[in-house]
Amino acid sequence: MSTNSATVPELPAALSFGLRPLPLAPLAAALDLVVKSAARRHPAMFARLGDQAGKRFLIEPTDLPFVVVMTPRPDDPEVQVVRPGEEPATDARIAGPLAALVGLVHGAYDGDALFFSRDLTVEGDMSAVVALRNALDDAEIDLVAEAAAVLGPLAQPAETVGRIAASLAERITGIAFARPRSGS
């Protein structure tokens, strides 16, 4: 699915195609670690979801050959990575280019603007989606810092390397994989 948007970049098709044969288990394990770490590091974000925390969200990067199914329970968040069409039943679906989805997490894009420009598709339980969006907005998540945090005492050097890698990936793809640092 193409968004035909001039403002939200899409992952290059060749890169997406190259990812198709890769196994999903390592990605699922890594995302699970990061989400569980984020639940420990940002308990207020997960608590803010309230009754919506038990809902199952389908996060569909339309320019990638997989989808993410997340249940953001504060005590035991769950993440699954599956091929499109293999996902379990979900309460809500949020679909769009990877850049839009990542940009929502770290504040690079406004969810309402993405929705009204049709760069983002939202279906299902709107109360759950709004609760998730508000929780993410308030938490000011930085994906590089969250990924590095799982490495414990190596988090700081890993974050430094991650920021370099994210900057390089952004130059190649146009996708901002890290939250801009204050003052930069």
Query: For residue 153, is it within any domain?
Result: no
| Residue 164 burial (10 A CB sphere; 0-12, 13-18, 19+) | exposed
| pLDDT value, residue 139 | 85
Give the CATH number for residue 95. Answer: 3.30.1050.10
**Is this model's pTM higher than 0.85 or not?**
yes
Nearest-angstrom CA–CA distance, 129 and 123: 9
The total domain count for the chain is: 1
Query: For residue 113, is it within any domain?
Result: yes
Query: For residue 156, is it within any domain?
Result: no
Query: For residue 155, is it within any domain?
Result: no
Nearest to 132 by CA among 78, 76, 55: 55
Query: For residue 166, is it within any domain?
Result: no
| pLDDT value, residue 53 | 92
127-152 burial, b for 16+ CB within 10 Å, e for fewer? Answer: ebbebbeebbbebebbbbbbbbbbee
pLDDT digit of tens for each residue in the chain (184 aa)?
333 444 788 888 898 999 999 999 999 999 999 999 999 999 999 889 999 999 999 999 999 999 999 999 999 999 999 999 999 999 999 999 999 999 888 877 877 788 888 889 999 999 999 999 889 888 888 999 999 999 999 999 999 999 999 999 989 888 888 887 765 4
Nearest-angstrom CA–CA distance, 74 and 65: 28
Question: Residue 126: how many CA atoms within 13 Å on its side-chain side?
Answer: 4
Query: For residue 150, is it within any domain?
Result: no
| pLDDT value, residue 113 | 81
| pLDDT value, residue 182 | 62
| pLDDT value, residue 36 | 94
The residue segments making up the domain with residue 127 are: 9-141
Query: For residue 16, is it within any domain?
Result: yes
In degrees, rounded to 5, the angle at the alpha carbon of residue 57 between the alpha carbons of residues 177 and 29 is 60
| pLDDT value, residue 71 | 95
Starting at the earlier edge strand, list the strands of the sheet with 57-61.
Answer: 78-82, 67-71, 57-61, 92-96, 121-124
Query: For residue 23, is it within any domain?
Result: yes
Nearest-angstrom CA–CA distance, 27 and 33: 10
Q: What share of the chain is helix, strand, coil (3-state, %, to 5)?
A: 50, 15, 35
| pLDDT value, residue 82 | 97
For residue 13, give the amino acid letter: A
